[in-house]
Amino acid sequence: MKYKSVFDIIGPVMVGPSSSHTAGAVRIGLVARKLFGRKPTWARISFYGSFAETYRGHGTDVAIVAGLLGFDTFDERLPNALEIAREEAVDVSFSAEEAIPHHPNTARLRIGDDEGELELVGISIGGGKIEIVELNGFALKLSGHHPALLIMHNDRYGTIGAVASVLAKQKINIGHMEVSRKEKGKEALMAIEVDQPLTDDLIGELEQLPNIIQVAKLVD
């Protein structure tokens, strides 16, 4: 069953006009914000496919910036996100790309500040659901049909085991897991799909583990 909850049908509560082009875009921005861990001072956003053609009309640009500011899909400040970004001195720019993407609703986000930067590619697959297909150069293959965790961490022994133990303690079963790293001992990424819902308490517990840099959840 693709849809599990009645709230997939009577929901989500969101700022319009489009679950895929607005709510999904907010969620892509929010994942980037959560993984970056703080408000960026600049953002370069590239749109592909249908996003490139209709982003102004659907407010996809506004929606992604809202996500970067930490607003959720139902936040009434969402329509004013571009003005709020300007007031908060976040420099944002957009470009519509000609390249044909694998999925029609694709956005590439590069965000950063003086301390660092992050790059991710997100796609909006319908009904507000999203997938992150690339993060800091790591390719991801998540189905998007299950709750998922993205965990940036230091490449140290025991880190994967510690994360798995926390999940096991909460009786959360892992359906799919990918681990990748740039270089031995440097920054690495765990992408984990699970069968049970992920609570904020669980995210908090994972963030407390040693060698964890950032934790973000995809799909509620």
Partner 1 sequence: MFRNVAELVALAEKDNIKIAEVMIRQEVEVSGRSREEIIAQMDRHLAVMERAVEKGLRGVVSRSGLTGGDAVRMQRYIAGGRFLSGETILDAVSKAMATNEVNAAMGVICATPTAGAAGVVPGTLFAVKEKLRPTRMEMIEFLFTAGAFGYIVANNASISGAAGGCQAEVGSAAGMAAAALVELAGGTPSQAAEAMAIALKNMLGLVCDPVAGLVEVPCVKRNAMGAANAMIAADMALAGIKSRIPCDEVIEAMYRIGAAMPVALKETAQGGLAATPTGRAIAARIFGASAASK
Which of the ranges 40-48, 75-83, 108-116, 211-219 carries the binding residues for partner 1, by CB under 8 A? Answer: 75-83
Number of residues that bind partner 1 (CB under 8 A): 40
Token duo for residue 89: 């001195």
- Comparing CA positions, the residue from 136, 104, 105 lying closest to residue 120 is 136
Shortest separation between residue 133's beta carbon and partner 1, angstroms: 18
Does position 58 interact with partner 1 (CB under 8 A)? The reply is: yes
Q: Which residues contact 125 (CB under 8 A, 6 or more apart)?
A: 20, 24, 103, 105, 131, 144
State how beta strands 138-139 and 129-135 pair.
antiparallel
Applying CB under 8 A, among 57, 70, 116, 158 the residue interacting with partner 1 is 57
Angle at 212 between CA 138 and CA 31, to 5 degrees: 55
Rounded to a whole number of angstroms, the minimum distance from the CB of residue 206 to partner 1 is: 19
Closest CB to partner 1 among residues 18, 159? 18
- What secondary structure does DSSP assign to 148-196, as a single string? EEEEEEE--TTHHHHHHHHHHHTT--EEEEEEEESSTTSEEEEEEEESS
Question: Any contact of residue 5 with partner 1 (CB under 8 A)?
Answer: yes
Verify binding: residue 195, partner 1, rule CB under 8 A: no
- Give the x-and-dash track for 95-134 against partner 1 (CB under 8 A): ---------x---------------------xxx------
170 is a contact residue toward partner 1 (CB under 8 A): no
17 binds partner 1 (CB under 8 A): yes
Q: Exposed, middle or buried by CB within 10 Å (0-12, 13-18, 19+), for 102?
A: exposed
Binding status of residue 176 toward partner 1 by CB under 8 A: no
- Residue count of the chain: 220
Q: Any contact of residue 173 with partner 1 (CB under 8 A)? A: no
What 3-state DSSP class applies to 63? helix
Which of the 8 DSSP states describes residue 23?
I
Q: Is 147 in the site for partner 1 (CB under 8 A)?
A: no
* List 78, 85, 132, 190, residue binding partner 1 (CB under 8 A): 78
User: Interface with partner 1 by CB under 8 A: which residues?
Assistant: 1-20, 22-23, 50, 53-54, 56-59, 62, 74, 76, 78-79, 104, 126-128, 196-197
